[in-house]
Structure formats: structure tokens, C-alpha cells
Amino acid sequence: MKPPVYYEHIHTCKQTGARYGILHTPHGDFETPIFMPVGTQATVKTLIPSEIKEVSDGLILANTYHLWLQPGDELIKNFGGVRGFMKWDGALLTDSGGFQVFSLSKTRKIKEEGVYFNHYKSGEKLFLSPEDSIHIQNNLGADIIMSFDECPPFNSNYEYLKDSVERTMRWAKRGLEAHKNKDTQALFGIVQGAGNKELRKYSIDELEKLDFPGYSIGGLSVGETKEEMYEMLEYLKDIMPKNKPRYLMGVGSPDDLIEGAINGIDMFDCVLPTRNARHGSAFSKYGQIQVKNTKLKEDPNSLDECDCYTCKNYSRAYLNHLVKSDEILGQRLITYHNLYFLKNLMKNIREAIKEDRLLDFKKEFYQNYGYKMKGRS
């Protein structure tokens, strides 16, 4: 009997070793590599579900920590989980709350039993354990859920990292034991170890013994340089399990998606495209566009050479007006475009992998976008 989520490898790019495959889930089968829009609060900000379908491949992410605090996982369970609550009939992934252990470092204490911290708004004392995280995610009802982990700073010293990785491993075992919905939800293990290759390999070896149905890479894109991230991804590429999906957490700029794919990543997520949109920044074939720029005030052209709804219907001048007027429609239209751009980028990456020309695609994309060549070339 197959697990609820599994990976089917179909082709390896001869130029790069990048993987093309199918991620099978209870709510759809998805070509990989895939980018997942982030719906932190059970909403991809400014978009309704029918629009999310148009700008994604059908797999999105929600945030365990935030939904636990508001409106509460028990309430969401009563509405049929996140999917029923937000009326999303596609597939869903939830994180574990572990990243908040990193981002709320000034207000939390990590103990063997779990993490003590204060509510980021009210200051209320809170506690989250590996078992709590899994229970909350069981209630949220995602297809793919994450082990509770600590995301240590990238340049932490060896002693701290070793203790952190070993504790995260113990938490992973506790999470597996607490997981109640193994027939409908796949629990991924999370590879940690920051910038230390020895501890990264140790983390992988120990997680493999637990036979998770998928493996996430945590602790990257947390302040290290891109060169450091790419070096680590290149190292992990050959030692990650080959028959399981590989998910690089919190990464979503165009260059990172291309480099990640070259280094064997199957799944990505990031708030970057939606956050940038709310600040008036749009992706385009020729680089980032600051929509508020005065030069665009009378520009009749579309944002990009793109067939998304935004580009087919509106000029840069109109979008410039909306952003300067602080109109919500401007945020919506740019969000739609940015996510569509990444959806199309991932489609092109997959085609390049299947045709054994991902390095050629990278070179052309970088030249157009204005990136300097990084990683393999």
C-alpha cells in the first residue's frame, strides 16, 4: 500500500542532475520541481481560491503557529480543516511552527520538552512541544505536515549545532509517535545542521532510519550568503534520499528556484512574491520592476511579456496609479502577476529538465533578468 504522499522520479537532466518527477498527494498529483504559494493565515493574501488556482499548480502552504494562535486549530478542525475553512479544494502543506522558534528568538526558551515563548502580540505565555505541533497539524488537515524542529542560526558554533540537531532528531521521533493520521497525512522529516556539512549528513542519516515519506531542508535562506546556501545545496544533492521528495523551505527568488532545481530540489515555498507585491515590486523577464517609479506614470505597456490577467488587461501606468494611491486592487493585481510569473518559471524549469538543457535555460534567464551567473554554469 502506497503512503498518502509519495514521489515518482521520471527524468534526470543530463546537464545538471536536476530531477523531474510527480508528487502524488490525496488532493492531486503535481509535476516537480514545484513552487508553493504561502497562505499563512489560511489565505494567500489578497486572492480568492479561484485566483489561487490560476496562479499556482494547486499546492499551497499554511502556517501552523499563526493558525494555532488565531483562530485556533480546534475551531478550524470543526470546519473541515484549513481546506474546508478557506474553501480550497487543492492540496495543502503546513509547517510545524519550528521557524517561529528561530524568528522569535528574543522571546523564547528552548527546553527538551519543547519551546516556551510569549505571544507575539499580547505577550501571553505559550508552550509548544513536538506532540502539540503534530496534534495541531492533524487538526489543520494538510496533506503534508512537518516535524517540529529548531532552526539554528547559520553560523552557530559546533557545540550549539550538535545539541540542536540531536534535540531536533529526538523531537522528530516524538512527532512520529504522536502522528495520528498516517493514512491521510504525510509527515516530513527536516534536515538541520546550519552551515556544518558533517551535522547535515548526520541529520540525514538519522532521519532516514525513521523512514519519513519526504524530507525538508531547513535552516537555509536565514541570513547566510547565496554562495553559502548554494554550496550546501550542492553538498546535500548527492546524499539526500533519492526516492523521496525534497523540500527546500522558505526559498523563492527566481535565481534560488533555478539553483535549487539544479541541486535536486523538488518543492519550494516563500512569501517573497506576495510580500514584494504588497510593496509594489513586480517580477518581470528583465528583472524587478518598482511599480511606484515615476518613470512608469505614463507607461502604456504591461508589466511583463506575460499572458496573466494583470498583463493582459492593465498598463504599468494604471498599476503605478493604484500603488501610489495605496489601493488594494494594486496589491491584488501585482500579487496575481508575481505568482503567475513563478508558476510559469517552474513550468519552464521542468521543460528544461525534461529536455536536458537546464544550464542553457539558466544562462538565458540570467542574461535577461540581469543576474550574474552563480553556481554551475
The catalytic site residues sit at 95, 269
325's CB contacts (< 8 A; 6+ apart) are none
373 three-state secondary structure: coil
CB 185 within 8 A of CB 144: yes
297's CB contacts (< 8 A; 6+ apart) are 317, 320, 321
**Packing angle, helices 254-262 and 328-354, rounded to 10:** 20
DSSP state of 249: T
| 152 residue type, one letter | P
∠ CA 7-8-13, nearest 5°, is: 110
**Best CA proximity match to 56, nearest among 340, 267, 298:** 340
CB 30 within 8 A of CB 169: no
CB 95 within 8 A of CB 137: no
Q: For residues 274 and 270, give the distance between their C-alpha atoms in angstroms, rounded to a whole number.
A: 9
Three-state SS sequence of 13-41: CCCCCCEEEEEEECCEEEEECEEEEECCC
